Amino acid sequence: MRRLDFAIRTRALLGDSELCGDLGLGQEENGIYTFVLLDVLGHGKEAHQLALTANDFINRNINEDAVSLIKELHQQLYGSRGLVMAVVKVDAQNEIMWYSGIGNITARTYGMTGKSLVFKDGIIGNGEIWPVLTRNRFQYGDVLILQSDGVKEHFCIEDISLFLIQSPEIIADTIMKRYGTKFDDASCIVVKYLK
C-alpha cells in the first residue's frame, strides 16, 4: 500500500503565529489524501481569524471534491476580505492527483512528472469564481510543493535536486529559510511518497 509523507510550514510576517493569514492542511482518509493551502488577503489578527474559519469549514467538508469544496467555501465566506486557495487530492495507491485552485498559490511537481499546476484567477469570498478540476499522474518518486506568494517562486537547481532525496520536513524547512520573503506571511506544503 503506497502512503504519503508530508510537511506543512507557516510563518507570520508579524512573527506571532496568531497573526498568520496563511494556513496549510493535510489529511488522509481511506487512502485519499487532501492538501489545502490558503492565503487570506492582508495579514494580522483579522486575516488569521478568517483562515481559522475557512479551516473549520474545510475540515467539516474534507470529503467533497476539490471544486465543490472551493465553491462551497466561496459561498460561506462571501463578503469577507477573501482568500486564495489550492486543493490537491492524491489517491496514493493509484498514483493519481486531482486539483483545483483560485488565485495566487504556486504548486508544482518535481520528478518523473514535473509540471506546474494551473489554477484560475479570482478571490474566494469575492466576486465570481470559476474553479475547474484537473487530473494528473502523481507517481512514486514525485514531489509536490505548494507555496503561498510569501515564498519566492523560483528555486535554484541545486535545491531542486535535493528535493528528490530529502525528507518533506527538511525540504519544507529549506524552502522557508531560503525562499521565504520578509514582506508577507509565508507557507508551504511538501508531499512525497513514503519509501
Q: What residue ranges bind Mn ion (CB under 5 A)?
A: 39, 148-150, 184
Enumerate long-range contacts of 116-123, CB under 8 Å, 24 or more apart. Answer: 117/86, 117/88, 119/86, 123/41, 123/82, 123/83, 123/84
CB 185, min distance to Mn ion, A: 6
Q: Is the dihedral of CA 143, 147, 153, 159 positive or negative?
A: negative
C-alpha cell at 61: 467538508
CB 157, min distance to Mn ion, A: 25
CA distance 124 to 131: 10
Q: Which is nearer to Mn ion, 38 or 88 (CB)?
A: 38
Give phi and psi for 100, each to the nearest 5: -155, 150
CB 150, min distance to Mn ion, A: 5
Nearest CA to 175 out of 89, 106, 120 is that of: 106
CB 179, min distance to Mn ion, A: 13
Nearest CA to 102 out of 150, 144, 41 is that of: 41
CB 99, min distance to Mn ion, A: 19
